[in-house]
């Protein structure tokens, strides 16, 4: 599982300098096992940062989403992804930060059209909350398969405070960077490193598990 999560983190391209255009925001491909993989990248452009703040102004109650902008983005991506999907293969959704938030409504759209929940799975890293109670209940109802990876000092998964996180499996990473930073840098720098450092910390977890 850890090796799989490390590979998925690489697909998410958390280094935003690696992609510059809208077409790189999300992409899909079939792997050697025939699994259809959908990858949604984290926040890059100013427009995407604005979308991230829309939960403060949202009054719509689509599936109980806090940020209806995430669902709007998913609705834009769905026809493109659905066009490449053969209708029968398993689907893995991969998303870091904002990308993980967009993966949840995408999952719901594929589940609703194909009724293939047993073939769908989300893998997210540092995803912010996207739903209130109604949305959480909907995820439970459809039995959403979601492996959520969270770093101990990452603040994004708890913003906004009134949001509810859903997961069918939770993997917590306890990075040991706190002792490496002077006290005046620990608040911001620690949170930033935790949010951007999932690949590094998963590698550490893999090495430690190999030594057990």
- DSSP run (H or E) holding 114: helix 98-114
Do the domain assignments include residue 212?
Answer: no
Q: What is the mean pLDDT of residues 87-105?
A: 93
What total of structural domains would you count in the chain?
1
Range of the domain at 184: 2-205
Residue 189 lies in a domain: yes
Mean pLDDT of the chain: 78
The residues, any chain, with a CB within 8 Å of residue 79's CB and separated by 6 or more, are: none
- Identify the pLDDT of residue 48: 46
Among 39-43, 46-50, 200-204, the minimum mean pLDDT is found in 46-50
pTM over the 0.85 mark: no
Low-confidence winner among 14-18, 41-45, 121-125, 184-188 (lowest mean pLDDT)? 14-18
- In this predicted structure, what is the pLDDT of residue 117? 85
The answer for residues whose C-beta is within 8 angstroms of residue 162's C-beta and 6 or more apart is 66, 132
pLDDT for residue 130: 82
Environment class of 45 (CB within 10 Å of its CB; exposed 0-12, middle 13-18, buried 19+): middle
Residue 31 lies in a domain: yes
Is residue 205 helix, strand or coil? Answer: helix
Q: Is 208 helix (H, G, I), strand (E, B) or coil?
A: helix
Of 26-35, 74-83, 108-117, 189-198, where does mean pLDDT reach its minimum? 189-198
**Is there a domain that residue 185 lies in?**
yes
Residues 35 and 116 sit within 8 Å (Cβ to Cβ): no
CATH code, 32: 3.40.50.1820
Q: Is residue 190 part of a domain?
A: yes
Residue 146 has pLDDT above 90, yes or no: yes
> CA-CA distance, 212 to 5, in Å (whole number)?
19
Tokens representing residue 5 in the block: 């999560």
Asked whether residue 77 is domain-assigned, the answer is yes
**pLDDT at residue 116 is higher than 80:** yes
State mean pLDDT over 30-39. Answer: 94
Question: Which of these, 33, 135, 39, lies nearest to 81 by C-alpha position?
Answer: 39
Report pLDDT for 88. 93
Does 65 reside within a domain?
Answer: yes
Strand arrangement, sheet containing 36-40: 26-30, 36-40, 91-96, 120-125, 146-151, 169-173
Let me know if residue 210 belongs to a domain. no
């Amino acid at each position: 599982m850890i090796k799989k999560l490390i590979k998925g983190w690489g697909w998410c391209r958390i280094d935003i300098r690696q992609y510059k255009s809208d077409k790189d925001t999300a992409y899909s491909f079939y792997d050697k096992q025939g699994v259809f993989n959908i990858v949604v990248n984290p926040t890059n452009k100013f427009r995407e940062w604005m979308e991230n703040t829309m939960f403060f102004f949202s009054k719509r109650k689509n599936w109980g989403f806090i940020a209806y902008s995430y669902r709007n983005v998913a609705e834009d991506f769905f026809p493109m992804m659905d066009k490449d999907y053969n209708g029968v293969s398993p689907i893995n959704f991969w998303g870091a930060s904002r990308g993980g938030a967009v993966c949840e409504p995408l999952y719901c759209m594929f589940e609703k059209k194909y009724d293939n929940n047993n073939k769908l799975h989300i893998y997210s890293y540092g995803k912010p909350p996207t739903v209130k109670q109604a949305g959480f209940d909907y995820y439970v109802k459809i039995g959403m398969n979601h492996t959520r990876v969270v770093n101990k000092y990452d603040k994004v998964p708890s913003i906004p405070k009134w949001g509810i996180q859903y997961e069918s499996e939770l993997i917590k990473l306890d990075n040991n960077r706190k002792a490496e930073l002077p006290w005046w840098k620990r608040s911001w720098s620690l949170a930033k490193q935790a949010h951007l450092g999932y690949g590094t910390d998963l590698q550490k977890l893999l090495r430690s598990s190999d030594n057990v």
